[in-house]
């Protein structure tokens, strides 16, 4: 943990360290820590923080015409500086396909998710007729919980007017994300957005369209795999969860995280770099963090913040 000029708060999340400056700005360091099944794994993944931070920055920049966002600058590959917003207590999960949690709910026989009716006759990974929003409550620890639009509004978590605006922003961001993904030969399957506000202005906050917050499928071969009932080819953090499950770990009590050998760590790091290059269309430039230099540079930048 650093001490930065004007620091008024510090929050250590699963994978990020967030410094509040003068109760007005945030300095977010995206670490190489990795979590799965709500557990932080014992060893970091080289360059993972840089991958996530730079993907998020690219997509925040590509969507700022839709909704203002919190990002001011990315002074270092693993650091974003932005505005401190009052966070809405819900996450806006949007789904274009019947995948993951939505599929598990559907497979169990239920035909409603977060108050949204689901039609009969769908197979895993099928497209919905149009994207659906399945919000969750925002938990600081443990699992987020599903909640419906009506429950959010009736409980006063978010006012009706504001929630309707969040829905509009969510669907517009998802459409933009799908368009960009399509150019890269990908389908943006599902993702989540977080919002905050300063005064009466709503801001998009946190990361967007990263492989930790989103799921991508490859377009090539998608229809053939659906017809034959094969699993879809994914581009997401799912490969980490699959490795853990293959080795007997799902985050349940009494289970131990399997040994993370140098070979395993190296392969996970390589997959994250591959994710970066496919999603962004750019060549990844490795940046090794010099912590003393990082603090010095941040101190200089913070002094210039208005």
pLDDT of residue 140: 57
- Contacts with 228 (C-beta within 8 Å, 6 or more apart), sequence order: none
Q: What is the pLDDT along the chain (306 residues), one digit of tens a residue?
A: 899 999 999 999 999 999 999 999 999 999 999 998 889 999 999 999 999 999 999 999 999 999 999 999 999 999 999 999 999 999 999 999 999 899 999 999 999 999 999 999 999 999 999 999 999 997 655 567 999 999 999 999 999 999 999 999 999 999 999 999 999 999 999 999 999 999 999 999 999 999 889 999 999 999 999 999 999 998 888 889 889 999 999 988 899 999 999 999 999 999 999 999 999 999 999 999 888 899 999 999 998 886
pLDDT of residue 277: 96
What is the model's pTM? 0.92
pLDDT of residue 143: 62
pLDDT of residue 211: 86
pLDDT of residue 142: 54
pLDDT of residue 235: 83
Given the structure tokens 């819900």, which residue do they identify? Answer: 90
- Domains parsed from the chain with CATH numbers: 87-235 (3.30.470.20)
């Amino acid at each position: 943990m650093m001490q930065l000029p004007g620091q008024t708060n510090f929050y250590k999340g699963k994978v990020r360290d967030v410094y509040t400056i003068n109760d007005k700005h945030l300095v977010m360091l995206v670490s190489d820590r990795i979590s799965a099944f709500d557990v932080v794994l014992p060893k970091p993944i080289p360059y993972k923080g840089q991958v996530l931070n730079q993907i998020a920055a690219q997509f925040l920049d590509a969507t700022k015409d839709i909704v203002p966002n919190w990002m001011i600058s990315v002074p270092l590959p693993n650091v974003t500086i932005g505005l401190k917003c009052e966070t809405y207590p819900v996450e806006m999960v949007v789904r274009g396909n019947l995948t993951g949690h939505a599929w598990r709910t559907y497979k169990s026989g239920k035909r409603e998710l977060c108050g949204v009716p689901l039609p009969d006759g769908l197979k895993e990974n099928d497209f919905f007729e149009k994207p659906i929003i399945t919000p969750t409550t925002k938990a600081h620890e443990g699992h987020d919980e599903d909640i419906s639009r009506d429950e959010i509004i009736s409980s006063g978590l978010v006012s009706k007017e504001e929630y309707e605006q969040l829905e509009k922003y969510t669907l517009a961001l998802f459409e933009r994300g799908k368009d960009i993904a399509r150019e890269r030969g990908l389908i943006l399957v599902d993702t989540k957005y977080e919002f905050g506000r300063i005064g009466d202005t709503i801001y998009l906050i946190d990361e967007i369209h990263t492989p930790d917050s989103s799921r991508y499928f490859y377009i090539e071969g998608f229809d053939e795999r659906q017809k034959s009932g094969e699993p879809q080819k994914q581009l997401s953090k799912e490969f980490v969860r699959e490795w853990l499950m293959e080795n007997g770990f799902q985050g349940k009590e009494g289970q131990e995280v399997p040994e993370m050998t140098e070979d395993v760590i190296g392969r996970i790091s390589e997959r994250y770099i591959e994710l970066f290059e496919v999603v962004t269309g750019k060549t990844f430039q490795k940046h090794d963090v010099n912590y003393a230099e990082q603090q010095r540079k941040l101190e200089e930048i913070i002094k210039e913040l208005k």
